[in-house]
């Protein structure tokens, strides 16, 4: 569903992403890990068509971002690191606007907004102005806007940041339940989250892929003194360099 081939991004002399290749199969949730500044957000911005890569190509559902930008973007829901929301609009106005941009038909707009509001538990703030919402609510409105029009591919950049523990559990359950129907690329700092939601992980360090495997295979391949390392230990080991 997502195919990334030899992706590179350079800012003058800094190399943010270096020859990265991976695929995410239909219905799969891929955990995307890496230390701060490893190039996760940059990679996600390229995959969603916000930024062009310096080299390489990206395909979503068979559409290349440069050859068919609209077809590409129609199939993609994106929650950036900082949810892009209009503080002056109410949540309903905002979601209505995004639904229009995504081409949700007028008569289905209301039910579609209510559907994502139900999923992300923001039904009680639909009439509030976004500027007055707490970080947790904004994060969930951002997730709701990514889910509008049910795009087959979701790219979520740290979706549980700023949420309280019970909200984190809810959102994790939600993301897990979205797998199967949606193909999801999930970036996060919380390793436990990956163990809970994903079967497969991609770990990058300094713009390069250092691991791309099933969690089980990864554990089997990293053994020390007779026992499998935890994901945390593997992560630290791989990103130490």
Partner 1 sequence: MKRTLAIARKEIIAYFTTPIAYVVFAAITVLGSWFFLSLLGQFQRHSFELTRMGRDDMLAHMNLTDQVMVPLVMNLALVLMMSVPFLSMRLLSEEKRQGTMELLLTTPVRPLEIVAGKYIAALAILTTALALTLSYPLLLSAFGSGDQGAVEWPTVLCGYLGLFLLGASAMAVGMFISSLTSSQIVAAFLTLMLLLLTWVVGWKAVDVEGAAREVLLYLSSTQHLISFANGMVELKDVVYYVSYMVLGLFLTHRALEGLRWAA
Binding site for partner 1 (CB under 8 A): 45, 48-52, 69-71, 73-74, 76, 78, 80, 82, 84-89, 93, 97-98, 100-103, 129, 145
Pick 79 or 171: Cβ nearer partner 1:
79
CB of 84 to partner 1, least distance (A): 4
Q: Cβ closer to partner 1: 78 or 235?
A: 78
- Residue 78 or 137: the one with the smaller Cβ distance to partner 1 is 78
Give me the least distance between CB of 182 and partner 1, in Å please: 16
Strands annotated E in 14-171: 14-24, 29-33, 55-60, 63-64, 76-79, 153-157
Cβ closer to partner 1: 82 or 173? 82
Cβ proximity of 7 and 51 under 8 Å: no
**Contact assessment for residue 166 and residue 139, using Cβ atoms and an 8 Å cutoff:** no
DSSP H or E segment with residue 175: helix 165-178
Distance CA 92, CA 126 (A): 5
How does DSSP assign 85-117, residue by residue? --TTSBHHHHHHHHHHHTT--HHHHHHHHHHHH
Residue closer to partner 1 (CB basis): 75 or 189: 75
CB of 204 to partner 1, least distance (A): 20
The nearest distance, CB 103 to partner 1, in angstroms, is 7
Distance CA 146, CA 136 (A): 16
- Smallest gap from Cβ 63 to partner 1, in A, equals 11
């Amino acid at each position: 569903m997502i195919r990334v081939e030899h992706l590179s991004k350079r800012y003058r002399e800094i190399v943010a992403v270096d020859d990265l290749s991976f695929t995410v199969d239909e219905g799969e949730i891929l955990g995307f890990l890496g230390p701060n500044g490893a190039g996760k957000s940059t990679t996600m911005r390229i995959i969603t068509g916000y930024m062009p890569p310096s080299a390489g190509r990206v395909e979503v559902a068979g559409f290349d971002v440069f050859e068919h930008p609209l077809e590409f973007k129609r199939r993609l829901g994106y929650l950036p690191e900082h949810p892009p929301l209009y503080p002056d609009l109410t949540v309903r106005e905002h979601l209505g606007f995004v639904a229009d941009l995504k081409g949700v038909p007028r008569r289905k707009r209301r039910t579609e907004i209510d559907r994502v509001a139900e999923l992300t538990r923001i039904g009680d703030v639909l009439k509030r102005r976004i500027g007055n919402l707490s970080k947790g609510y904004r994060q969930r409105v951002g997730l709701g806007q990514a889910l509008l029009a049910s795009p087959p591919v979701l790219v979520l950049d740290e979706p549980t940041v700023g949420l309280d523990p019970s909200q984190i559990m809810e959102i994790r359950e939600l993301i897990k339940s979205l797998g199967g129907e949606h193909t999801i690329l999930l970036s996060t700092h919380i390793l436990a989250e990956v163990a809970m939601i994903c079967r497969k992980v991609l770990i990058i360090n300094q713009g390069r892929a250092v691991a791309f495997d099933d969690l089980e295979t990864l554990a089997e391949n990293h053994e020390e003194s007779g026992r499998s390392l935890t994901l945390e230990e593997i992560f630290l080991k791989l990103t130490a360099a």
